[in-house]
């Protein structure tokens, strides 16, 4: 068993499957290209971090993009399982904690992650069961666990501005303690893309 495990949730870069909110503004190919660039940014950061890395793939790990990343960086590929996002994250975190003392899970939409931010996430798990990296839009860009419980994402309305608040409430109900990191932002809209390009 390792001390720290970093998991990345990723979608196969299939046109029409990723960054769908961007499609009306920039088109289906450009939206897919944005996603690939975001994913590569997170993957490259993870590769430099020194942590054990798992890439959790949707709909599965067969896409050539995932196979190339795994070969290049020696990542472990896993298929996402579950009906909704909460179920899929709970499954991944539970599996991760069978292999590591602390697990941090990130998405591929946040271009402003740093190695320091990831280190703080792992460090927070020394005192709390769960750590969350809040997003400006009311969701979260990172979740880390030293412990999981069934229903820890119960009744969370994914995609709403209340996601973080509801997640904290659900975790409190099942007895998990939590810690919040500084707020970051992710890329969902054209304004987010422009902000990313400007930075």
Reported as a single tens digit per residue, the pLDDT across 14-65 is 999 999 999 999 999 999 999 999 999 999 999 999 999 999 999 999 999 9
Q: Hey, what domains does the chain have and what are their CATH numbers?
A: 2-190 (3.90.550.10)
∠ CA(182), CA(108), CA(148), 5° rounding? 65
Per-residue pLDDT tens over the stretch 102-143: 999 999 999 999 999 999 999 999 999 999 999 999 999 999
| Alpha carbon distance 47, 177 (integer Å) | 29
154-172: pLDDT as tens digits: 999 999 999 999 999 999 9
Burial of residue 2 (CB within 10 Å: 0-12, 13-18, 19+) is exposed
pTM, entire model: 0.97
């Amino acid at each position: 068993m390792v001390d720290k495990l970093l998991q990345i949730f990723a979608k196969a870069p299939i046109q029409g499957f990723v960054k769908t909110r961007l499609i009306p503004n920039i088109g289906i190919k450009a939206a897919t290209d944005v996603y690939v660039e975001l994913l590569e940014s997170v993957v490259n950061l993870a590769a430099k971090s020194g942590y054990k890395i798992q890439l959790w793939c949707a709909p599965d790990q067969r896409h050539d993009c995932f196979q190339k990343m795994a070969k290049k960086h020696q990542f472990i590929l896993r298929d996402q399982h579950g009906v909704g996002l909460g179920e899929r994250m709970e499954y991944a975190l539970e599996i991760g904690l069978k292999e590591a003392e602390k697990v941090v899970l990130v998405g591929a939409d946040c271009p402003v992650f740093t190695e320091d931010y990831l280190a703080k996430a792992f460090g927070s798990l020394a005192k709390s069961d769960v750590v969350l990296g809040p997003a400006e839009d009311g969701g979260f860009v990172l979740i880390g666990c030293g412990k999981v419980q069934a229903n820890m994402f119960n009744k969370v309305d994914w995609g709403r501005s209340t996601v973080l608040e509801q997640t904290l409430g659900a975790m409190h109900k099942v007895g998990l303690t939590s810690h919040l990191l500084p707020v970051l932002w992710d890329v969902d809209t054209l304004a987010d893309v422009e902000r990313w390009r400007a930075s």
